[in-house]
């Protein structure tokens, strides 16, 4: 039986504003592994290792989770870090008015638990991961770059589908492949 590393996500169109932030982070010379622009997404549910014969069931759960959701608009704005500024692991862009995304994520999480996937322990935090910090090198310069975008409005985007993705980890970074797309 074949397995793949999977997650359910909303793809994000990268805008010039997002590219400017990525450039500013790069220019800080901090030890950050940036997410490739074509891979930027909102994770609704990380699945981990998935048996390929579960794809159809996962697809049905995705359909059931969004059956009453119409296409919607989301606003990307602000920046920050997880878990905190003293110990930075993740750099993110915020999502304004994320209630619909939270509703979809909770529904998927609840329904997938019936298939044996672990439920999320932490509450859902709608964000775009744009980089993972490896060491504290040039942390202050990184924080300055992030601070400049703290109240910045990056873009407004139309969301009309959610996707089941496969993640192949390579030395150059992950390669994401869409296995199923569910239209809203």
How are strands ordered across the β-sheet holding 175-183?
41-51, 3-11, 161-168, 175-183
Catalytic residue among 41, 45, 111, 166: 41
Which are the contacts of 119, defined by CB distance < 8 A and separation ≥ 6?
109, 110, 113
Q: What is the pLDDT of residue 119?
A: 93
Is 20 part of the annotated catalytic residue set? no
Look up the CATH number of the domain holding residue 113.
3.90.1140.10
pTM for the full model? 0.93
Sign of the CA dihedral 43, 49, 53, 54?
A: negative
Q: What is the pLDDT of residue 125?
A: 86
Among residues 109, 118, 12, the alpha carbon closest in space to that of 64 is found at 109
Cβ(51)–Cβ(1) under 8 Å?
yes
Provide the residue range defining the domain that includes 165: 3-183
pLDDT in tens, the chain (184 residues): 699 999 999 999 999 999 999 999 999 999 999 999 999 999 999 999 999 999 999 999 999 999 999 999 999 999 999 999 999 999 999 999 899 999 999 999 999 999 999 998 887 888 999 999 999 999 999 999 999 999 999 999 999 999 999 999 998 889 999 999 999 9
Question: How many domains does the chain fold into?
Answer: 1
The Cα–Cα gap between 126 and 53 comes to: 29
Per-residue burial over 140-163, b if 16 or more Cβ lie within 10 Å, else e, is eebbebbeebeeeebbebebeebb
The Cα–Cα gap between 62 and 6 comes to: 13
Q: Name the one residue in this structure whose structure tokens are 């090198």.
A: 137
% pLDDT > 70, the chain: 99
Catalytic residue among 45, 111, 127, 166: 127
Is 15 part of the annotated catalytic residue set? no
The Cα–Cα gap between 144 and 100 comes to: 31
């Amino acid at each position: 039986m074949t397995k793949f590393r999977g997650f359910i996500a909303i793809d994000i169109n990268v805008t010039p504003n997002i590219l400017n932030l990525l450039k500013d982070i790069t220019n800080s010379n901090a030890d950050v592994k940036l997410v490739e622009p074509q891979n930027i997404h909102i994770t609704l549910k990380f699945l981990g290792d998935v048996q390929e014969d579960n794809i159809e069931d996962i697809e049905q759960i995705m359909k059931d989770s969004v059956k009453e959701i119409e296409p919607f608009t989301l606003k990307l704005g602000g920046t920050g870090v997880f878990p905190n500024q003293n110990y930075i692991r993740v750099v993110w862009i915020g999502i304004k008015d994320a209630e619909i995304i939270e509703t979809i994520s909770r529904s998927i999480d609840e329904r997938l638990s019936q298939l044996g996937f672990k439920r999320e322990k932490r509450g859902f935090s709608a964000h775009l991961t744009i980089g993972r910090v490896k060491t504290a090198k040039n942390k202050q310069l990184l924080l300055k770059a992030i601070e400049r975008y703290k109240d910045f409005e990056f873009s407004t985007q139309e969301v009309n589908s959610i996707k089941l993705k496969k993640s192949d980890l390579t030395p150059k970074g992950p390669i994401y492949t869409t296995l199923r797309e569910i239209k809203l």
